[in-house]
A and B are shown apart, each in its own frame.
Chain A
Amino acid sequence: MKPIISADVDLLKRRDLKNGYFSLTFGPFARAKQCRPGQFVHIGFKQSSVFYRRAFSIANTNADDKSLEIILKVVGRGSKQMADLRIGDSVNFLGPLGKPFTLPNKKQTPILVAGGVGYPPLFYWANHLIARGWDPKRIVFLYGGQSSPDIVDRARIKRMGVKFIPVTDDGSFGERGRVTSPLVRALAENTYESPMIYSCGPEAMLKAVDQIGTEFETPGELAMEAPMPCGFGICLGCIVPLRAGGTARVCQEGPTFSIGTVKL
């Protein structure tokens, strides 16, 4: 018989990251150890103002205390409901779900490109790579937002020791412009050995990253988002069209896709 992969967990820790961002840590989650960056949990609420479950990328896990962290921005009723949870409140986790990022080879330089709310899985990915022996200084972390408060959790990113390149539209923090500018520059100038892109963020940004990766013939993976009624492949509501024809389910064949595969 198959294990049932839904489990009740409690909210253990809640941090206000300002500007509508929150970090929520849940546990104990027996499957914390099986989680991989790029994957998500589909969260069901006990008392809910929304009908569906809500999918959230995993932002970190701790195998020792079996906890799992989610970082979210309040953008709608589902994320509001999450942000309103209090310590001790219980929710139901279904997961981990979806296809994780694939590891680069040791020669490659991982370039993480995060835009706004796309930051959490890349934070997890950087942590995971470091834990697996990657030199933090060889991990490039591009992180873009509209303005300084959109670049959340900076202290933790700095503490990881990665090559952190923040970018804001208005130049209030880090470089002024788009997060794709330093990416193009690095690829054009061959700054890093065998770059491998990992990106998550708004669709317009992913589209730009996909184009850049294709133009510079640089491999990479994009973590996509889609409204997910079921989260595990049975409703066919979350599909994206593929370049090669046909469709793929974001929750099942994704949420990570190789650059060049999805028609963005």
Chain B
Amino acid sequence: MSKANNKPDMLAQKHMITKSKKPKSKTPKTKPDLSVEIAGYRFKNPIWTASGTCGYGEELDTIFDLNRLGGIVTKSITRQPRPGHPTPRCAEESSGMLNAIGLANVGVEKYVAEKLRFLDEYDIGVVVNVAGFGFDEYVEVCAMLADCPRADMIELNISCPNVSTGGIEFGASASDVERIVKAVKKVFPRPIIPKLSPNVTNIAGIAKGAEAGGADAISLINTLIGMSVDIYTRRPGLTNNRGGLSGPAIKPIALSMVNRVYDVVDVPVIGIGGASSAEDVIQFMLCGASAVQLGTALFIQPDLPITVERDLKKYLTSQGLTSITEIIGKIEKY
């Protein structure tokens, strides 16, 4: 891959995310290799944790050693700290959940000063998720992260309402997405990964807009807008009335969208949406994902990344494969 410039190289040394090298030997007896390359970085495995479902990493590290992850995507940060919406801001569904946390976060300044530091000593890819309510906010926050070497990459949460266009999601317009990606690419020297919203009519068009703007990879999907109602109180399950649906319920939609996007762009795709097992991760990878983020499933089984890592290796061995990269996009469609 050619996307690596000199800067990631230096960072790679510091954080031990090694720049991509071709695997040397190909003897059948080699250990299954889970490493994947995305935007010029090599991740030790394709298992990432999704934004908003792993905090800033500290709590998850009490459950398992974070070094076992390929990458962590931290909770969306904004220019200013935000308390988020009042509770209830999560609602349980039969095969998933709704949330309207409201982008509660500590704000970029405190994030950089306190939270990001925690990840310094870990040998994992750190992807900082950035949200905003206007173009300027995205650009400002990304610019502030430019000098933080621990921010290996930025994932752009474009599922936010654009206050200047009456609250329509940025992610709903291919030209808006292109413009945002272009603008943040100018201020942040390392890879930019726009995270697409599934609440659109033409996901392929949005993905192409992202690529045209210079996206180094594309992740998808964010949550699907949903609602729940209590029939006795007649109240929605969330104070925000609507929220985002996540969990196993959305996996088929996510697989379909990942595959659609994989077919129309050249940059790596990162799958998100309901993955709860190694089998799910493999499905995403067959559909075209180079890495898969575990989200809501972490609430049910916090040590899931460990199980998935083990089971991915078993799968490779059972299939006589040496590298997980051999399955990316290898779905055999009718």
Q: Mark B50-71, 1 if CB is under 8 A from A, else 0.
A: 0011110001111111000000
Kindly state whether residue A227 has any CB partner on chain B within 8 Å. yes
With A and B bound together, what is the CA distance between A106 and B104 in angstroms? Answer: 41
Contact, CB under 8 Å: B97 / A52? yes
Contact, CB under 8 Å: A2 / B63? yes
On chain A, the number of residues with a Cβ less than 8 Å from chain B's Cβ atoms is 29
Q: Mark A219-254, 1 if CB is under 8 A from B, else 0.
A: 000000011011111111111110000110000100
Contact, CB under 8 Å: A233 / B92? no
A-contacting 9-mer, from B29-37, B250-258, B301-309, B310-318: B301-309
- Closest A residue to B94 by beta carbon equals A51
Q: Which residues of B contact A51 (CB under 8 A)?
A: 92-97, 247, 300
CB distance from A97 to the nearest CB of B (A): 10
A-contacting 9-mer, from B81-89, B123-131, B153-161: B81-89
CB distance from B236 to the nearest CB of A (A): 15
Contact, CB under 8 Å: B59 / A252? yes
Kindly state whether residue B101 has any CB partner on chain A within 8 Å. yes
With A and B bound together, what is the CA distance between A44 and B59 in angstroms? Answer: 18
Contact, CB under 8 Å: A232 / B59? yes
- Closest B residue to A247 by beta carbon equals B83
Given known contacts A51-B300, A237-B90, A232 and B99 CB-to-CB distance under 8 angstroms: no
Q: Which residues of A contact B101 (CB under 8 A)?
A: 235-237
With A and B bound together, what is the CA distance between A53 and B97 in angstroms? Answer: 12
Kindly state whether residue B118 has any CB partner on chain A within 8 Å. no
Q: Which residues of B contact A226 (CB under 8 A)?
A: 87
- Closest A residue to B84 by beta carbon equals A236
User: What's the A-B contact tally at a CB cutoff of 8 Å?
Assistant: 92
Contact, CB under 8 Å: A230 / B299? yes
Contact, CB under 8 Å: A234 / B83? no
Contact, CB under 8 Å: B65 / A233? no
Instruction: Provide the main secondary structure of the chain B interface.
Output: loop
Kindly state whether residue A75 has any CB partner on chain B within 8 Å. no
Q: Which residues of A contact B64 (CB under 8 A)?
A: 1-2, 4
Given known contacts A51-B96, A52-B97, A235-B53, A6 and B302 CB-to-CB distance under 8 angstroms: yes
Instruction: Provide the main secondary structure of the chain A interface.
Output: loop
Selected contact of B306 from candidates A4, A50, A230, A246, CB within 8 Å: A4
Kindly state whether residue B298 has any CB partner on chain A within 8 Å. yes
Contact, CB under 8 Å: A52 / B59? no
Q: Mark A152-173, 1 if CB is under 8 A from B, else 0.
A: 0000000000000000000000
Q: Which residues of B contact A230 (CB under 8 A)?
A: 298-299, 302
Which parts of B101-122 form the interface with A (CB within 8 Å)? Answer: 101, 104
Given known contacts A6-B63, A236-B104, A50 and B92 CB-to-CB distance under 8 angstroms: yes
Contact, CB under 8 Å: B63 / A232? yes
On chain B, the number of residues with a Cβ less than 8 Å from chain A's Cβ atoms is 36
Given known contacts A52-B97, A237-B90, A1 and B65 CB-to-CB distance under 8 angstroms: yes
Kindly state whether residue A208 has any CB partner on chain B within 8 Å. no
Selected contact of A234 from candidates B54, B92, B95, B303, CB within 8 Å: B54
Given known contacts A53-B300, A232-B62, A227 and B88 CB-to-CB distance under 8 angstroms: yes
With A and B bound together, what is the CA distance between A50 and B60 in angstroms? Answer: 23
Q: Which residues of B contact A4 (CB under 8 A)?
A: 63-64, 303, 306
Contact, CB under 8 Å: B300 / A44? yes
CB distance from A244 to the nearest CB of B (A): 13
- Closest B residue to A50 by beta carbon equals B92
Given known contacts A94-B302, A234-B53, A246-B83, A229 and B59 CB-to-CB distance under 8 angstroms: no
Q: Which residues of A contact B55 (CB under 8 A)?
A: 233-234, 236
Selected contact of A232 from candidates B95, B96, B302, CB within 8 Å: B302
Kindly state whether residue A264 has any CB partner on chain B within 8 Å. no
CB distance from B224 to the nearest CB of A (A): 16
Top 7 A-B pairs, shortest CB-CB distance? A237-B90, A233-B59, A230-B299, A1-B65, A234-B55, A229-B299, A4-B303
26 sampled A-B residue pairs with Cβ under 8 A: A1-B65, A2-B63, A2-B64, A4-B303, A6-B63, A6-B302, A6-B303, A44-B300, A44-B301, A50-B92, A51-B96, A51-B97, A51-B300, A52-B97, A227-B92, A229-B92, A234-B55, A234-B59, A234-B60, A236-B55, A236-B84, A237-B90, A237-B99, A237-B101, A238-B87, A247-B104
Residues of B within 8 A of A (CB): 52-55, 59-65, 75, 83-84, 86-90, 92-97, 99, 101, 104, 247, 298-303, 306
Residues of A within 8 A of B (CB): 1-2, 4-6, 44, 50-53, 94, 226-227, 229-241, 246-247, 252
